[in-house]
Chain A
Amino acid sequence: MGENKKDQLQGTLDLLVLRTLSTGGKMHGYAITERVVQISRDVLKIEAGSLYPALHRMDEAGWVKSEWDVTENKRKARFYSITAAGRKRLAAEEAHWQKVAGAVMRVLRHA
């Protein structure tokens, strides 16, 4: 993972989504985008055009699972939740991210 730019960006998106699901429980796609925007204080904006392909990809990979359900205001939506495999993946992505972020910080500070 993280071999090229595209993978790296995808890895970051996966990380954000998995992390959000790991604390938020069962969520639909819209709620995920809102939560990320809210927690990142409007810095990170996830577009639906990127989010949904990522969710479906992770669903196929078995990191998340999805089901159709109704929202509080009785609307039909697809809900996602993290799986055990997803948590493992999240741990790996988080570790990787910490390592990269730490490295970047060190470069910024000392180079």
Chain B
Amino acid sequence: MSLIGRFVNLWRRSSLEREFDDELQFHFDMRVDANQRAGIPRADAEAEARRHVARLRAREGMRDARIILWLDELARDLRHGARRFANDPGTTALAIITLSLGIGANTVIFSLLHAALFRPLPFPDPDRLVSLFDGSRIQATSGVPPTVPEWIDVRDGRHRFEGLSFYDTRDVQLTGGTEPARAFAARAEASFLSVLGARTQLGRLFVAGENDPGRDRVVVLTDGLWHRTFGADPKVIGSTIRLNGAGYNVVGVLAADFAFDYQVPEPIELFIPFTMSTTYTSRDADFTSIRRVSAIARLQPGVRIEDADHDVKAIGETIAKAHPELYRRGTDGQDIGFYMGIEPLQSALTGRGRPVLLLLFGAVTLVLMVACVNTAQFLMARAIERRPEVAIRMALGAGRARLLRQFLAEALLLGGVSAVAGVLQATWLMPAMIATLPSRMTPRSTPQLDLPVLAFTAILALIAALLFGLLPAWQFSRATALRRMEQYAIGGGRSRPRQALIAFEVGVSIVLLVVAGLLFQSISELQQSPAGYSSDDVTLLRIRASSTGAAGMTTGDLYARYLDRIAQIPGVASAAVADGPLAGAGGIEFTIPGRQNGPQQLTSYRIVSPGYFSTLQIPVLDGRVFSAEDTIGHTPVAIINEELARRYWPGESPIGRTIRTGPGPRLATMTIIGVVGNVRPVLLAASSPQLYVSSLQQSEPSIVMLVRKSPGATVSADAIKQAVWSVVPEQPLFDIRTMNDLVDRQFAEPRAVGRLLAAFATLGLAMSTMGIYMIVTYLTSRRSKEVALRRAVGAQPGDVLSLLAGQTLRWSIGGLAIGIIAAIAASRALRSTLIGVMALEPQTVIAMSAFYLIVIVVAMAVPILRAMRLDPAVVLRAE
């Protein structure tokens, strides 16, 4: 209370002082009365009372007791500082702008980071929610979602979970309304919503058993979809909606505040039960190892996550022992080190954007450091101007602590104003910045300037203020005596601390520049490297085999029928299906029978129809492509890429040789029938082993259809839809777009990160340039007389230039060199965290350094040339 009370008293000083006076006056009057009563004459009585009361001393003591004095003095220092800043509005504004840009950028990136990584999930007791995953010690993979049989084994094993569940996601076509609409659905195990702790506003959640095959189909809607598509009509409960052609009974509408939008391509709009058919639950089925589901669990209250993890690991070991054929390498029987584990759901759901956000955070921290150093430069320059004043004050006996406090007060003032300006900038910049970033990196939960973020900004500003405030103060407190101050003023060349700061700014800025340059270099390298296919004139659409309407046909047959109809559309040159548009799933192993080199990994395993290669214009180099005869029952066949052929059959034809894939679901021994050109994988330039199998031999329900039109022809999306629907009405179709659009989109993330880094680098560049400009201007004005004298006795402009700029240039180049070394190290680290980042090319470094050097030289030349335009005679006469 006392401290706060004294603090409050600071603001009611004048009334306090009045009270002191009244009290002392009363005492004085009483004393005078008493003296007079004792017979002392009035004048003497008053004199005695005055001595006795010792008003000055008393008042000082009372003030001391009531008010925090140092704070009072700090307030005075702040006022003093504010007046000084107001005297120099231009430079002050510049300093505040730089610093607030640094703080603002930091605030934005931190609020993204906070929303993405640290803010608790909006479910009850989020600390008890965990995610289940698979890992392999040999392949060094972790965080892979488990398969359904694995999840079942965990559920039925010994564990300390209150509940376990899982989900996966897919597009659905919502029909029966006014027009077919696409919606994003989660197929959830029945307890999923209750494990999360979700509540409904209407109806109910799923009940146990609704996952079983053959049960009535039910659906739970989110509040958003309910409003958007059903006009928030409460009668929707009990009604039937059609999803992908099948009827689903609406049983519930989730509470308005429920949202599950973490690490899913888009927010989930409706939940349907995951049908636990043997296709998914049996380890013998085709898709078991491919269909992986995001599994979650809720710990029992009071159970530690380490203990629960221990339980799950034990179950994982049992699984691996029970199914050696699936959990060991097929060829040499070596254990792949399969294990299962859990991690907090928070980090599982928010972890993927982390490296990029941390990278950006690192970059803005560097920008802020440059801003701090810049502000220190500014304050030091001002401090030097104030040297006579400070010297006088020190000579008059002002303590070093007193001076230090004054410097700090100014720094705090600058930091405080900049923090406020920075937060204002952040509110304004945030929406723009979020719009730039690809969705994978931005959290769905909207970042906002909430309390933790503001606290962060405040701490940041405080640290910044201390950093840039103490530097000039420290520099000053070393110069104790007046004599030393004078020496300082005459020499002019003793600017080493400031030069070192310049070197630091240059070093940090070049790191940012080079890293930003690296990202753009990588993008252009990727765009220029041969793709191996042509995406012009190709339209893509996604199709998922409908559960109705494909009766009696394999998915391969069904897609062949679609392709036949599409081929009849005028203007269509060719069409194909594949399990994905570009290079496909990696990580599947292959072996060449008879070779000793053990299992290798494919970077792409693609299931394609016969027309795939002609549609994407991938050249056939040897053998043939798939035909309509390569069906189930005939010899399993495969096509390999040039790189795979070159590695294993250099100088000979691989046609007719065998290749084996697996272990796992893609276990097959196939005859090689053709060799095709290398296709550039997503965000990788290196060619690597790729393998194609026939869609008529490998079943896959979810595919992409690729339609190439003849050059110059137009094929409407509607014509393609009608062709598909003429085979199966209501076949859901999604995401119709050009392939060029898709190809371009893979560069979205590196491009967005590159743009942000470039913006940060520009900030750093501008600040360091300003710092250089300031120091050279200062040195020039300090030595203007010396320069005039030298020129008067015949010094050449070059001599003058090197006299004034030589030192700064040397320090800058030193900073540049160290910065380049740091940038090379940073680019190495970046390559391992961000896909698509290429090796740093010397040209990038050279270009960036040369550019920076030019900027530095210009910043130095401007003030010097200006000084040299002055007539030496005039300068000298001013003496």
Contact = CB atoms under 8 A, between A and B. Distances in A.
A60 interface: yes
Interface stretch (A1-9, A17-25, A42-50, A91-99): A42-50
Interface stretch (B24-32, B328-336, B419-427, B472-480): B24-32
Interface in A8-39: 28-30, 34
A76 B25 CA distance: 10
A48 B62 contact: no
B26 A48 contact: no
Of the candidates A47, A60, A75, the one having the most CB atoms from chain B within 10 angstroms of its own CB is A60
Contacts of A54: 61
A56 B63 CA distance: 9
B22 to A, nearest CB: 7
B62 A28 contact: no
Given A49-B58, A52-B23, A60-B6, 8 more contacts: A49-B57, A52-B20, A53-B58, A53-B60, A57-B65, A60-B66, A77-B26, A78-B26
B799 interface: no
B2 A61 contact: yes
Contact of A48 (B2, B27, B64): B27
A62 interface: yes
Given A30-B27, A48-B53, A78-B23, A62 B65 contact: no
Given A52-B61, A52-B62, A29 B27 contact: yes
Contacts of B27: 29-30, 48, 52
Contact of B62 (A30, A56, A62, A75): A56
Nearest to B16: A56
Nearest to A29: B27
Nearest to A46: B52
B212 interface: no
Listed from nearest, the 5 A-B pairs whose CB atoms lie closest are A53-B61, A49-B54, A49-B57, A56-B65, A57-B65
Nearest to A50: B61
Nearest to B34: A34
B399 interface: no
Query: DSSP class of B's interface residues: helix, strand, loop or mixed?
Result: helix
Contact of B52 (A28, A48, A61, A76): A48
B1 interface: yes
Interface of B: 1-2, 5-6, 19-20, 22-24, 26-27, 29-31, 34, 52-55, 57-58, 60-62, 64-66
A30 B31 contact: yes
B26 A76 contact: yes
B774 to A, nearest CB: 48
Contacts of B23: 29, 52, 77-78
Contact of A78 (B6, B19, B54, B61): B19
Contacts of B19: 78
7 contacts: A29-B23, A48-B52, A49-B57, A53-B65, A56-B61, A56-B65, A60-B2
Contact of B54 (A30, A48, A75): A48
Nearest to B30: A30
A61 B790 CA distance: 69
Given A60-B2, A60-B66, A78-B19, A49 B26 contact: no
A62 B2 contact: yes
A99 B329 CA distance: 87
Contact of B1 (A47, A50, A57, A62): A62
B621 to A, nearest CB: 93
A78 B30 CA distance: 13
A47 B54 CA distance: 8
Nearest to B6: A60
A75 B26 contact: yes
B492 to A, nearest CB: 49
B91 to A, nearest CB: 43
Contacts of A48: 24, 27, 52-54, 58
Q: Which of A48, A76, A77 has the most CB of B within 10 A?
A: A48
B52 to A, nearest CB: 6
Nearest to A52: B58
A30 B30 CA distance: 7
Nearest to B29: A75
Given A76-B22, A78-B26, A49 B61 contact: yes
Contacts of B30: 30
A76 B30 CA distance: 12
Contacts of A49: 53-55, 57-58, 61
A17 to B, nearest CB: 13
A57 B26 CA distance: 19
A60 to B, nearest CB: 5
A51 B26 CA distance: 14
A77 B25 CA distance: 10
Contacts of A28: 26
Contacts of B55: 49
Nearest to B62: A56
Nearest to B1: A62
Contacts of A53: 58, 60-62, 64-65
B297 to A, nearest CB: 55
Max chain B C-beta neighbours (<10 A), residue from A53, A57, A75? A53
A6 B55 CA distance: 21
B64 A52 contact: no
A77 B30 CA distance: 11
A60 B9 CA distance: 11
Contacts of B20: 52
- Tell me which of B5, B24, B30, B66 has the highest count of chain A C-beta atoms within 10 A of its own C-beta: B30
A49 B58 CA distance: 4
A56 B24 CA distance: 12
Which of B6, B26, B31, B60 has most chain A Cβ within 10 Å?
Answer: B26
Interface in A43-91: 47-54, 56-57, 59-62, 75-78
Nearest to A60: B2
A16 B29 CA distance: 23
A1 B27 CA distance: 30
Contacts of B52: 47-48
Contacts of B62: 52-53, 56
A57 B54 CA distance: 18
Contacts of B57: 49
